């Protein structure tokens, strides 16, 4: 089929909840994607932060092929080797203790919310506890995840949502303090806000929230679905701070292309929250996705990808600085590691569209930020090539 025929074919039955770009990707290799016409695209989006190793990593692919030939599914009524290996890898990567595997990031958020509520229920002997989340945050599309997402655009059509959610201002400790009551069971935030515009937490803010949680026996939940798994220059972004969460949510690059998420908790939380029968999943943590998780973490460690990101970040930031100095409509850049944003006063959607036409895959974040999430394998040569294409696009404005 031609590209147009594929698109027409798909639109016959796909529910139109995405405004997809008119491109049909067929395969990938390294940093590059190729469409059905054979056109090459340099990927600075990673499938929204998923494809940490780029495309066609042989060791990763082989691990999945071996698992497919072995067993695909057992349910969580039984153990299997990949589950044990994946759980050990996630505990090692996060520095936390107990893991629950989910099918997605949104499900990881749901599980984290339930864990915090059960923790407070057992502590206080009553239900009706509250969660403090952040304005301009994004945590997923399920009802629970939308309830703690601080953006009215995502919330309003689906009211009534989950009760007991208050919103504070990200990086404003006083606004968090003002929301705490004796009903507060958790404070939930992204360590680096993604959809909200690529805002890293300020160290004093995150450390201050941790201190508040310790003072009031409140659980700190850090959403690292996008910023985790090496993207910040550490395995998890909170490891750049003097902070350890009580619960962390992870997904995206956790499976590097296979749909899997997890929420991970400390030993204290595990012993004082969910019990058998409180939570479950049919597919979560099945052998295929766990093989992907185990291999992803081992490859991250073997390839030293967080260290590579740290090494490449100054060069990437140098290129970002050049853009903001060259173009008056590029007013700022911010981010951490390979999670970066350029603030633009021109239509971001047009920049994304024109970049794709010229063979560069980039993203937006909010209404005014161009988001860059390259695979963690990106080299200086890849960064040069990406910014050469981006410069040619921005020059048209």
User: What gap in Å lies between CA 82 and CA 94, rounded to an integer?
Assistant: 18
Whether 283 and 384 map to the same domain: the answer is no
Whether 294 and 342 map to the same domain: the answer is no
Q: What pLDDT was estimated at residue 337?
A: 98
Q: What pLDDT was estimated at residue 340?
A: 98
Whether 287 and 169 map to the same domain: the answer is yes
Cα angle: 371, vertex 377, 381; to 5 degrees: 80
Whether 267 and 309 map to the same domain: the answer is no
Whether 326 and 383 map to the same domain: the answer is yes
- The residue with tokens 């939380």 is 269
User: What gap in Å lies between CA 269 and CA 16, rounded to an integer?
Assistant: 41
Q: Which residues lie below 8 Å from residue 338, measured CB to CB, with a gap of 6+?
A: 231, 309, 312, 313, 316, 372, 373, 374, 376, 378
Whether 200 and 231 map to the same domain: the answer is yes
Tell which of 303, 325, 357 closes a domain: 303
Q: Which domain holds residue 196?
A: 59-303
- Residue 45's CATH number: 3.90.1150.10
What one-character DSSP code corresponds to residue 131? E
The alpha helices in the chain, defined as continuous H runs, are 3-11, 46-49, 58-70, 81-94, 105-124, 143-147, 152-155, 173-177, 203-216, 267-271, 287-303, 305-326, 348-357, 380-394
Whether 135 and 224 map to the same domain: the answer is yes
User: What gap in Å lies between CA 131 and CA 204, rounded to an integer?
Assistant: 21
Whether 342 and 284 map to the same domain: the answer is no
Residues lower than pLDDT 70 in the chain: none
Whether 109 and 230 map to the same domain: the answer is yes
Q: What pLDDT was estimated at residue 65?
A: 98
- Residue 185's CATH number: 3.40.640.10
Q: What pLDDT was estimated at residue 239?
A: 98
Tell which of 275, 303, 331 closes a domain: 303
- Please state the domain count of the chain: 2
Q: Which residues lie below 8 Å from residue 5, measured CB to CB, with a gap of 6+?
A: none
User: What gap in Å lies between CA 177 and CA 252, rounded to an integer?
Assistant: 31
């Amino acid at each position: 089929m031609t590209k147009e025929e594929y698109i027409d074919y798909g639109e016959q039955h796909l529910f139109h909840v995405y405004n997809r770009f008119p491109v049909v990707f067929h395969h990938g290799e390294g940093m590059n994607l190729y469409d059905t016409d054979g056109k090459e695209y340099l990927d600075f989006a990673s499938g929204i932060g998923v494809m940490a190793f780029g495309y066609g990593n042989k060791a990763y692919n082989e691990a999945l092929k071996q698992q497919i030939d072995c067993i695909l599914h057992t349910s969580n009524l039984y153990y299997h080797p990949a589950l044990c290996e994946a759980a050990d890898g996630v505990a090692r990567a996060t520095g936390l203790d107990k893991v629950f595997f989910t099918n997605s990031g949104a499900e990881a958020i749901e599980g984290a919310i339930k864990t915090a509520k059960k923790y407070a229920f057992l502590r206080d002997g009553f239900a009706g506890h509250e969660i403090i989340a952040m304005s301009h945050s994004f945590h997923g599309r399920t009802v629970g995840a939308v309830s703690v997402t601080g953006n009215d655009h995502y919330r309003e059509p689906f009211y009534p949502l989950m009760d007991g959610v208050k919103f504070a201002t990200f990086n404003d400790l006083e606004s968090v303090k003002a929301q705490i009551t004796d009903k507060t069971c958790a404070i939930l935030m992204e360590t680096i806000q993604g959809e909200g515009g690529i805002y890293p937490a300020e160290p004093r803010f995150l450390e201050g929230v941790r201190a508040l949680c310790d003072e009031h026996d409140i659980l700190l939940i850090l959403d690292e679905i996008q910023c985790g798994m090496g993207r910040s220059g550490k395995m998890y972004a909170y490891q750049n701070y003097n902070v350890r969460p009580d619960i962390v949510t992870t997904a995206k690059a956790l499976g590097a292309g296979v749909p899997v998420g997890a929420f991970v908790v400390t030993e204290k939380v595990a012993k004082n929250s969910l019990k058998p029968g409180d939570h479950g999943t049919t597919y979560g943590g099945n052998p295929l996705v766990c093989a992907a998780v185990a291999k992803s973490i081992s490859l991250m460690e073997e390839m030293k990808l967080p260290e590579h990101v740290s090494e490449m970040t100054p060069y990437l930031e140098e290129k970002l600085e050049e853009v903001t100095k060259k173009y008056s409509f590029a007013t700022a850049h911010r981010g951490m590691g390979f999670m970066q944003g350029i603030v633009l006063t021109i239509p971001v959607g047009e920049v994304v569209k024109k970049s794709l036409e010229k063979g560069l895959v980039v993203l937006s974040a909010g209404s005014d930020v161009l988001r860059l999430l390259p695979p963690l394998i990106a080299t200086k040569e890849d960064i040069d090539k990406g910014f050469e294409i981006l410069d040619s696009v921005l020059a048209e404005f």
